[in-house]
Amino acid sequence: MTLPHIDGAIRDGRHHMQVRVYYEDTDFSGIVYHANYLRFMERGRTNHLRLMGAEQNALFEEAQEETGGFAFVVRSMTLDFLKPARMDDMLDIVTWPIAVKGASIMLAQEVRRGDDALVKAQVRVAFVSQGRAQPIPKSIRTLMKADLA
């Protein structure tokens, strides 16, 4: 079930999702612990897929028929920590596809507070079946390319 107010929204080809920073997200100095940005971005990628116009369960069932035992795995990630976030900040997690190729999808992500970029990332997600990289099934490839500007 898609809940736009919870899952965010796609605007101008980019997925935007709001996250509030809670005490549990911070370290002893009151700033967001670096690993928690990864959790925020994972939620952004998941909700981005959810809001792209297809039910995730139906999409994955179709992909399962095409390529059994599949999974998406983060193959590589480059992060640039620019500024800290603090407790009670409202963050905008922005996600957009850069390229869909063969067995991988390249995404760009930013964690923003207002006009300030706090963290920038490039994430390569690979499609794996039975322990090996496989071409992304047509259903998923079509869906992701449809969002590329």
Q: Which residues are catalytic, by number?
A: 27
List Cβ neighbours of 16 (8 Å cut-off, separation of 6 or more). Answer: 8, 9, 10, 92, 93, 94
List Cβ neighbours of 92 (8 Å cut-off, separation of 6 or more). Answer: 16, 17, 18, 19, 110, 111, 112, 113
